[in-house]
Amino acid sequence: MQKILLILPVLLIFSSAGYSQEKISAEQKQKLEQLRKEVREDLTGNILPFWISKMTDNNRGGFYGRVDIQNHVYPDADKGGILNARVLWTFSSAYRVTGDTLYLRTAKRAKDYVLKYFIDRENGGAFYSLKADGSPSDTRKQVYTNAFFIYSLSEYSRATGDKEALSEAMKIFDLFEKYALDRENNGYFEVFSRDWQRIRDKMIGESSDKDEKTMNTHLHLMEAYANLYRVSGDDMVGQRLKNLVGLFLDHIIDKKTSHLICFMDRSWKRTSDIDSYGHDIESSWLLYEAASLLKDKELTERVKKACIGIANAASEGYQPDGSMLTEKNTSTGHVRLQRSWWEQAETVVGYLNAYELTNDWAYMNKSFQCWEYIKTNFIDSKNGSWFSYISENGTPSGDKGGFWICPYHNGRMCMEVMERIR
């Protein structure tokens, strides 16, 4: 991650390609300072307090599985692995970034619950979901879900130095390399039984029986391996991370359009016609972050060029009001007009990152405009947290918390801005 350092009277921009500096106007500096101030206030005064007060299950442990748009809690809802892993990551990172021990207590609570209930001590890895009482509900081992346990456990170790959490993350990494890796065509398969036998269940967003590899899983696996490598320094993790970066460059990024290819068959042939704008802009900064950790100048330069191309491709979904659309079917021309909370959060970070890579203020303006859209449409200033979805006509919908809806995208956005603008 690069840092934009607020130093009077100029702003210093530190890039991985060498320490360069650029003077910016007083107005631009003020806008950066204001963005950092506002996202910090949203993180510490809205997002994190909501999840502590509304989602903490003080009766059965862990966190509730669902809270709806009216802030009604469903105490008997299943507890998703993705939600619990993302809560662990968010509060671990919040403690690391702010130093507030309130977030450490919540992170430790999340870590203890994960290790006690989600980790399968017999077969290894983490369950997809639990019942409200903590007993297993869905025992499948999904690579996407388990990647978030690597990501979150390594972040807890990064924030606290906890060796147990790092050890558990490494165990899941070893299971992936043993069972999930496609040794013939490279990449990773998706879904496994409790004892790690591959099964052909539907994948996230899958539309074709030919789908065997997904961009989404590889993106978050790369994200997880990057954090694990950052914390562990393990050579094998570094090698596998470099392999994942290469898979994006060679197979997942469409060389003609710079969009990501969402679904592929076992040998990496395209099986979908979807351009996912949110994943495009998210990958444009996660890919660069992963490559930067490897300290390979040639690779980093290749990735830098690719990431700028991806950010530009994502701009096809960027709207005049500052919002980011969800996706487009390139075969039918159909565009999904509903806005999602996570796509907006990733847009702020993605174009901030593009600005850092290029010094082109037009990218930074996209971040500012998207943040304004978020403040107007997604932040629930009355009842807390963010709305999940906004319709084309501006109507909010969806739960505040659930299997997929967690403080990870919006919380991470806030912390990325806080750390990059100093």
Q: For residue range 170-202, what is the model confidence (pLDDT) as tens digits? A: 999 999 999 999 999 999 999 999 999 999 776
Residue 206 reports pLDDT greater than 60: no
Model confidence band, residue 1 (pLDDT cutoffs 50, 70, 90): low
Which pTM was predicted? 0.94
Q: For residue range 248-269, what is the model confidence (pLDDT) as tens digits? A: 999 999 999 999 999 999 999 9
Q: For residue range 312-355, what is the model confidence (pLDDT) as tens digits? A: 999 999 999 999 999 999 999 999 999 999 999 999 999 999 99
- The C-alpha atoms of residue 352 and residue 347 are separated, in whole angstroms, by 8
Q: For residue range 215-236, what is the model confidence (pLDDT) as tens digits? A: 999 999 999 999 999 999 999 9
Range of the domain at 388: 3-420
Higher per-residue pLDDT: 14 or 54 = 54
- Does residue 196 come out as left (phi exceeding 0), alpha (psi in the -120 to 50 range) or beta? left
Residue 244 reports pLDDT greater than 80: yes
- The C-alpha atoms of residue 412 and residue 184 are separated, in whole angstroms, by 35
Please state, rounded to an integer, the average pLDDT across all residues of the chain.
Answer: 93
Percent of the chain at pLDDT exceeding 90? 91
- The C-alpha atoms of residue 213 and residue 145 are separated, in whole angstroms, by 15
Q: What is the CATH number of the domain that holds 342?
A: 1.50.10.10
Residue 168 reports pLDDT greater than 60: yes
- The C-alpha atoms of residue 82 and residue 409 are separated, in whole angstroms, by 12
Residue of 418, 380, 375 whose CA lies nearest to 399: 380
Residue 22 reports pLDDT greater than 70: no
For the chain, the domain total comes to 1
Q: For residue range 42-59, what is the model confidence (pLDDT) as tens digits? A: 999 999 999 999 999 999
